[in-house]
Amino acid sequence: MAEIQQMTGFQSPCTEYAEDDLLLDQRFVTDKPAMVFVRAKNAYPMYQIQKEDILLVHKGQQPKSNQVVVAVVSDNFVIAKFQWVNGQGFLMPFNKRIGDVENGDDFIWGIVASVHRNTRI
């Protein structure tokens, strides 16, 4: 038995402006295997990061100067700005050199790609 389609009324004039659903993982995650979401346990107001913000961290790239990074320093995760000075990497404002032979336990864990915040009150 054939289906009968019945047209009732006019098509909405807005249908030509309709957009696909916004999927945040497609918008922000550019390198899926190398990117992870983490939650900030402390506030870092100098980088506009508040406590409980969700950070998208890219773990597969080398940091460039002035990028905000997540680093492991003395077995603790910290968020700091990375800076190249005379060919050596430093975490600012800690003035902590990263990659020294003596400080082999300290390293850049990833680059902060984006910050996401729940703005509901």
- Domain boundaries in the chain? 23-116
Distances, alpha carbon 24 to alpha carbons 30, 48, 49, 54, 68, in Å: 11, 20, 19, 13, 21
**Residue 101: which pLDDT band, with cuts at 50, 70 and 90?**
very low
Cα angle 95-96-98, degrees, rounded to a multiple of 5: 135
The pLDDT, as a whole number, for residue 93 is: 73
Mean pLDDT, residues 96-110 taken together? 68
Is pTM beyond 0.85? Reply is: no
Q: Which CATH number fits domain 23-116: 1.10.3720.10, 3.60.15.10, 2.30.42.10, 2.10.109.10?
A: 2.10.109.10
The pLDDT, as a whole number, for residue 102 is: 46
